[in-house]
Homo-oligomer: A and B are copies of this chain.
């Protein structure tokens, strides 16, 4: 876990919003539901993109970045990729900051 890369990932308004939205998908994405019927698999790129107002390519890259640093997990199901918070990693980050910072 590279602390600097983690903080860089968090140093962006949209990426922070995405992490907030993924905390409570049913609240933040009330109109959508997982196309594959599996619950708790996360939210697909398109829904996040529409809510963000940024372009598809930007959001795809942002999610890929959040995934690279381990803050979210990604699951491909058919043509959709579902992104979901990695609560373990996020909790560890909180501890990391509380203890080492």
The interface of chain A, by Cβ under 8 A from chain B, is: 3-4, 7-8, 10-13, 16, 19-20, 90-91, 93-95, 97-98, 100-101
Contact = CB atoms under 8 A, between A and B. Distances in A.
A62 B60 CA distance: 32
A10 B13 contact: no
Interface SS of A by simple majority: helix
A100 B98 CA distance: 14
Contacts of A12: 4
A72 B15 CA distance: 26
Contacts of A97: 93-94, 97-98
A33 B8 CA distance: 34
A96 B12 CA distance: 16
B7 A7 contact: yes
A72 to B, nearest CB: 12
A68 B95 CA distance: 24
